[in-house]
Amino acid sequence: MTMPRRRAFIAGAAGVAGATLGLGGCRRGDADAPLRFWAMGREGEVLETLLAPLLREQPRLRVRVEKLPWSAAHEKLLTAFAGDATPDMAQLGNTWIAELAALGALLPLDAGAAGLDAADHFAGIWRSNEVDGRLLGVPWYIDTRLMFYRHDLFRRAGVPSMPGDWPGLVRALDALQRSGVAHPLLLPLNEAEPLLALALQQDDPLLRDGGRYGDFRSAGFQRTLAFYIERFARGHAPFLTNNQISNLWQEFGRGSFAAFISGPWNIGELDRRLPTELQGLWSTAPLPGPVPGGRFGASTAGGSSLVVFKRSHRQQQALQVLAFLGRPQTQLHFHALTGNLPPRRSTWALAPLAGERRAAAFLQQLELAKPTPAVPEWERILQEMQLQAARAHRYGTPVADAAAALDERVDGFLAKRRWMLARGALRARAA
């Protein structure tokens, strides 16, 4: 290379490097930039379609949807908060509201301004969005867990419909095993919701003393844990994670298992993914409960809310989107796209939803849906609970020991919370 060309090359390299760094360092904080909206799973996939009418109404409004997988969403939200890179608004599992509220990340909302009416919502769900008397999230859809099952396989085994109590369920699973389904009930080892739902069916709460200590050694939880572990020991459930299932819907269609516990979004997924000949062969039913002779048991009161972040520069636009997504027509459209259940009673009264067979089971279950403790550490406690249960089966630990070990770990997680409560830096909500 000759000298002038060499000089030019170095100058060019330095220039490109500098430009990249400069451009890279550029942050899109201007008000002209689109609204950043984070959404998870299936909801993230349909959000752009759902927002299309609003964007037509308001041409100056631009929304950029970012889809997160559920498995990484919690992590990413916290990382974004820690790194000062939160979006403008996001979908949030309502068990995470307490956590982000403790961080002071969420903007208090004015329900009236968003066109929402507290009385039109299910009370428990609305309450889980309120922290210290302020509304921090708007319910987007409600969610609970119930049984999805192949009623044709059940009938072939001599069970006409999903039993209403635990002993009935055990008999049904035995019958299914005899009829050729080796592991009839899918309880993925890395999903905490099924165990949580069963645990909530007991009267004993999972944390005690205003969320300061774990109470997993209670008789109620130990009964649930024993029931859960026994399902694996008896071969009713395969000892697998959902990574190893590979394709849930395909395997359900193939009859590798006859039942699994999941949420409303799977109505939409199964409708989309199963071949037509299998469409009429499955149903939903509320979870069997621990009380013999009962019609069904409780389940989780979950769902997602929509939140706006305090650090957003586009709060007005976010509130516009919130109001739009809260309209009953939008919620109906949302249900049609995903199978998710609307949080507003007025939407439930509207025509297509009112008559839907499979959604009816959810409405039934929602009557007995219990919220989880609203402590910021809940996500971690949930994961630990699931881990201890899986370990107890694998290593044959007695249930009492597993429960005690779990309590010990949970007490450790809650140590800082206890200190903050003692200092008065936090106010304890009824756990």
Residue from 27, 56, 60, 357 binding other proteins (CB under 8 A): 27
Residue from 52, 82, 219, 233 binding other proteins (CB under 8 A): 82
- 93: β partners: 304
Residue from 43, 88, 99, 215 binding other proteins (CB under 8 A): 99
Locate 76 and state its tokens.
Answer: 């990413």
What is d(CA 354, CA 91) in angstroms, rounded to the nearest whole number? 26
CB of 375 to other proteins, least distance (A): 12
72 near other proteins, rule: CB under 8 A: yes
104 near other proteins, rule: CB under 8 A: yes
Secondary structure E strands in 144-296 = 146-150, 185-186, 207-208, 213-214, 259-262, 282-285
CB of 403 to other proteins, least distance (A): 17
Site for other proteins in 146-185 (CB under 8 A): none
Q: Starting at the earlier edge strand, list the strands of the sheet with 63-68.
A: 63-68, 35-40, 89-93, 302-308, 138-143
The Cα-based distances of 327 to 64, 114, 116, 304, 392 in angstroms read 21, 10, 8, 16, 47
Sole window of 55-63, 200-208, 349-357, 384-392 interacting with other proteins (rule: CB under 8 A): 384-392
Which helix H or strand E contains 273, and what residues bound it? helix 265-273
What does R_g of the chain's alpha carbons equal in angstroms? 24
Of 138, 139, 81, nearest to 105 (Cα)? Answer: 81
What is the x/- site pattern for other proteins, positions 354-383, by CB under 8 A? ----------------------x---x---
Sole window of 102-110, 164-172, 197-205, 357-365 interacting with other proteins (rule: CB under 8 A): 102-110
Residue from 48, 61, 67, 235 binding other proteins (CB under 8 A): 67
349 near other proteins, rule: CB under 8 A: no
Amino acid at the residue 133 = G
Residue from 103, 274, 332, 404 binding other proteins (CB under 8 A): 103
Burial of 386 (0-12, 13-18, 19+ CB in 10 A): buried
Q: Which residue has the tokens 């509130």?
A: 319
Q: Which is nearer to other proteins, 1 or 430 (CB)?
A: 1
Site for other proteins in 184-243 (CB under 8 A): 189-190, 239-243
What is the x/- site pattern for other proteins, positions 105-134, by CB under 8 A? x-----------------------------
- 36: β partners: 64
What is d(CA 321, CA 162) in angstroms, rounded to the nearest whole number? 40
75 near other proteins, rule: CB under 8 A: yes
Q: Which residue ranges make up the site for other proteins (CB under 8 A)?
A: 1, 3, 6-7, 10, 13-14, 16-17, 20-27, 36, 64, 66-69, 71-72, 74-76, 78-85, 99, 102-105, 189-190, 239-248, 250, 376, 380, 387, 390-391, 394, 416, 420, 425
